Amino acid sequence: MKHPLETLMSAGGILLLAFFSCLLLPAPALTVELAQKLIKMFHLLDMNQLYTIIFCLWFLALGALEYFVGRFIWKRWFSIDREA
């Protein structure tokens, strides 16, 4: 049986790992031409707004990836309620 707060803990775990990613992993850097093209494509105001969106998406994606890898490792090797 699943715990009733498992979905809440999943989202919280992803956000927590995203914050850790902010400290440990570098975000992608864009060339000036690509940045200007993206600003025009998405109708943004300036490059600061573009990089804010890129950093948020990058760190949330890394946090989700780290969460699912950590969850897989936990359930595979460290979980107590395994079927023999």
Chain segment 46-83, per-residue pLDDT in tens = 999 999 999 888 888 887 888 888 888 878 887 766 55
Query: Which residues, 6+ apart, have CB-to-CB distance to 19 below 8 Å?
Result: 59, 63
Q: For residue 64, tell me if it sits in a domain.
A: yes
Q: For residue 82, tell me if it sits in a domain.
A: no
d(CA 36, CA 45): 10
Segments forming the whole domain that contains residue 37: 15-74
Side-chain-side CA neighbours of 66 within 13 Å: the count stands at 20
Angle at which helix 32-41 crosses helix 47-73, to 10 degrees, equals 90
How many domains are there within the chain? 1
d(CA 4, CA 65): 23
Q: For residue 79, tell me if it sits in a domain.
A: no
Q: For residue 60, tell me if it sits in a domain.
A: yes
Q: For residue 6, tell me if it sits in a domain.
A: no
Q: For residue 43, tell me if it sits in a domain.
A: yes
Look at the pTM and tell me if it is higher than 0.75: no
Higher-confidence position of 37 and 28: 37
